[in-house]
Amino acid sequence: MKMILLGILLLALWGCATTAKYEKVLNSWIGADELRLVRKWGPPQQTYESGGRKFLTYASGRNVYVPGTAPSYQTTVIGNTVYTNPVGGSPGYSVHKQCNTTFEVENGKIVSWRWQGNDCRSK
């Protein structure tokens, strides 16, 4: 049950953002000018040149806090004494989300892309 609730929570947080939609956005850049990409995405965090080609890498990262769940309580009466104990529950935790996207540029035009990470999504 807890895993189902966590799954519903994560779906709500991500909305309808998917990697397929992100790849559609990236595909729209194939054939575009490098300058147009830099104007839209800003300067890349990293560049690399090899074999007459340039690679532009954009990186993003964030931390998402997933709240814990409250325990339920079970009360037991033994003689004249009442005992109440917590059952279940879980602590909250932080998840690091990141996305690194690299565009390959040849003769000033974007020819391919590659993404890596757990937060490469688009709406």
| Residue 85 token pair | 């104990």
**Nearest Cα to 89, choosing from 105, 69, 75, 63?**
69
Answer for the pair 52, 106: CB distance below 8 angstroms, yes or no. Answer: yes
Residue 1 reports pLDDT greater than 70 = no
Amino acid present at 24? K
For the segment 29-35, the average pLDDT, to the nearest whole number, is 97
Mean pLDDT for the chain overall: 90
Distance CA 58, CA 74 (A): 51
pLDDT digits (tens, 9 = 90+) for 91-117: 999 999 999 999 999 999 999 999 999
For the segment 28-32, the average pLDDT, to the nearest whole number, is 97
Q: Could you give the 3-state DSSP secondary structure of residue 8?
A: helix
Q: What residue spans define the domains of the chain?
A: 31-117
| Residue 11 token pair | 């779906």
